[in-house]
A and B are shown apart, each in its own frame.
Chain A
Amino acid sequence: MKVLVPVKRVVDYNVKVRVKSDQTGVDIANVKMSMNPFDEIAVEEATRLREAGKATEVVAVSCGVAQAQETLRTALAIGADRGILVQTDVELQPLAVAKLLKALADKEQPQLIILGKQAIDDDANQTGQMLAALLGWPQATFASRVELGEGTATVTREVDGGLETIKIKLPAIVTTDLRLNEPRYVTLPNIMKAKKKPLETVAPADLGVDPAPRLKTLKVTDPPARKAGIKVADVAALVDKLKNEAKVV
């Protein structure tokens, strides 16, 4: 069984982004970029499936600029077998990415596609579900546990107020939540090995997809600043403030 794992290159988790003064976006020049953390969990899950003998091949895919190759190399270092870069400088939105991935899925015929539930840059939380709809496949989003059966997957999902378990027919889409697994640390030997793994580059036109954005960003601004308050000396002072100043208790 082949598993496809799309990965996205995003501003690193620990970077506090700055809004550009001309309000056209956030400044990502000279900022550390990394693999979207939820996608790392997806690559780890796929790799574990292969290590457990349940998957035969793990193919990592990234859509975006040439530097997304680095993100694919990280996926290969975690354990993916080969990489595909859909290279474009066009600003990619979730619908376009879902269409590119659908075209690749039609070609690669995976039984399972595992994606991060959302990317931490645009926070859209759309691509997996859109891809499932375009393929006409079932989905199990926000997964915290995946068990493969005969032509099925039983997935526990993180939903509001608890957990829910559903059974889906393969081929299917799974999107990862935080507690699905803890991705391994990438070791130097594996980074070296990853450099030798095959990485193919294609263009959106090769896949017959127009990736033009549908949403126009009119402006990007700083969020309203919250002013720091005061420090109180003790519990009595805190209770007094909450009762008499803020009037919230």
Chain B
Amino acid sequence: MTILVIAEHDNVHLKGATLNTVAAAAGIQKYVGGDVHVLVAGGNAKAVADAAAQIAGVAKVLLADAPQLADGLAENLQAQVLAIASSYSHILFPATASGKNVAPRVAAKLDVAQISDIIAVESADTFVRPIYAGNAIATVQSGDAVKVITVRTTGFDAVAATGGSAALEALAAVADSGLSSFVGREVAKSDRPELAGAKIVVSGGRGMGSAENFKILEPLADKLGAAMGASRAAVDAGYAPNDWQVGQTGKIVAPQLYVAVGISGAIQHLAGMKDSKVIVAINKDPEAPIFGVADYGLVGDLFQVVPELAGAL
């Protein structure tokens, strides 16, 4: 039994989510044996494949390199994965925007169920996944021949990025489907770490009051070297961009430290951050549900507390 992991990358850098996904693959390998392979499908992505070959525990890296694979178009990636799918018992994608985009297409073409967002491996065919925004945890068993899985990265500690020496094999790239084309990308430029993988996250909620007021979080985030996040309420109100959204419908994070500022703690938000190691809540309402999950709560006016905290660190 061989396990395939689909690498997350931007054609230049291998993304950290790949390492968590390899960790999940290693968890499955304990039950089924065999090797772990990594597929890098991209354009001019040799550097990514070289990086993937260094990942601890990976036996082989497959590189499909062609312009039609450069922009993550789901139709082409689906075909590329299907071209090699028959060699694998488990096919794992990180549960990122791109993994979620492609994995179900692969599962449907293989006529198998997909197991989404797993947080633990119980055996070769049994996995644990949150449902209802993490308010319940389901253990599910797949009877299908091939397991197509997306991996919630916060559920698995990343394997070492170096120490491995996988063989590198070039694959023939599939043809362009002609069904879709890439137009452009607006990547939010930031010197801050990426939200999904950050060690510290500073998030603001509706209590921030305006997009302008959100800026008072910046010195604190800078001081902590933190990524910035937001509750859905703050995103809905237009105070923060959607890719900052932490919660059931946004990103799931589990940093070492999560600082929730002016966030009441709606179920949907808690679902996205309650696995953080240490949670700090700053809110003027002492009854706010966020205090029910916070390790350290500070009741007070955020407009006073946040600058003071930034100054004191």
Closest 6 CB pairs of A and B: A229-B295, A129-B104, A214-B113, A130-B108, A138-B179, A133-B105
Chain A residues with CB below 8 A from B140, complex form:
215-218
Interface contacts beyond A138-B180, A162-B185: sample of 10 additional A-B pairs, CB < 8 Å, sorted by A: A95-B114, A125-B104, A133-B108, A160-B96, A214-B142, A215-B113, A216-B142, A223-B136, A249-B257, A249-B313
Residues of B contacting A172 in the complex (Cβ-Cβ under 8 angstroms): 179
- A150 adjacent to chain B (CB < 8 Å): no
User: Which residue in B132, B134, B242, B309 is a CB contact (below 8 Å) of A121?
Assistant: B132
Least Cβ distance of A231 to chain B in Å? 4
CB neighbours (8 Å) of B144 from chain A are: 214
CA distance A199 to B292 in the complex (A): 45
Residue in B97, B116, B256, B298 whose CB lies within 8 Å of A231: B298
With both chains docked as a complex, state the minimum distance between the C-beta of A13 and any C-beta of chain B, in angstroms.
8
Encoded as 1 (CB less than 8 Å from any A CB) or 0, chain B from 268 to 302 comes to: 10000010011110000010000111111111100
Closest to A118 in B: B249
Tell me which of B104, B194, B295 has the highest count of chain A C-beta atoms within 10 A of its own C-beta: B104
Measured CB to CB, the residues of B under 8 A from A are 71, 73-75, 78, 96-98, 100-109, 111-117, 126, 130-144, 177-188, 194, 196, 200, 224, 232, 235-236, 242-243, 245, 248-249, 251, 256-257, 267-268, 274, 277-280, 286, 291-300, 305, 308-309, 312-313
Q: Which of A1-48 contact B (CB under 8 A)?
A: 11, 13, 16-17, 19, 26, 38
Bound-complex Cα distance A217 to B141 (A) = 6
Report A-chain residues with C-beta under 8 Å of the C-beta of B242: 144, 158, 177-179
- CB of A169 within 8 A of CB of B184, answer no
**In chain A, residues 118-135, which have Cβ atoms closer than 8 Å to a Cβ of chain B?**
118, 120-134
Q: Complex formed: what's the CA distance from A16 to B298 in Å?
A: 26
Q: Are B98 and A249 in contact (CB under 8 A)?
A: no
Task: Find the B residue at minimum CB distance from A246.
Answer: B278
Give chain B residues whose Cβ lies under 8 Å from the Cβ of A229.
279, 294-297
Question: Which among B109, B131, B179, B286 is the interface contact of A168 at CB below 8 angstroms?
Answer: B179
Chain A residues in the interface with B (C-beta under 8 A): 11, 13, 16-17, 19, 26, 38, 93-95, 98, 118, 120-134, 137-142, 144, 154, 157-169, 172, 177-179, 213-223, 226, 228-232, 234-236, 238-239, 241-242, 246, 248-249
Given the complex, which residues of A lie within 8 Å of B105, measured CB to CB? 129-130, 132-133, 139
B180:A95 contact, CB within 8 angstroms: no
Residue numbers in A under 8 Å from B143 (CB-CB)? 214-216
Contacts of A169 in B (CB 8 A): 178-180
Query: In the assembly, what is the distance between CA of A147 and CA of B25, in Å?
Result: 40
A17 touches B104 (CB 8 A): no
Contact across chains for A17 and B135 when beta carbons are under 8 A apart: yes
Cβ contact within 8 Å between B108 and A98: yes
Among B142, B144, B249: residue with most chain A CB under 10 A: B249
With known contacts A166-B73, A178-B232, A223–B183 Cβ distance under 8 A: no
Query: Which residues of the other chain, B, contact A215 by a CB distance below 8 angstroms?
Result: 113, 115, 140-143
Assuming A222-B136, A246-B278, is B114 touching A142 (CB within 8 A)? no
Using Cβ atoms and an 8 Å threshold, which residues of chain B touch A93?
113
Are B97 and A158 in contact (CB-based, < 8 A)?
A: yes
- Chain B residues with Cβ below 8 Å from A163 are 185-186, 243
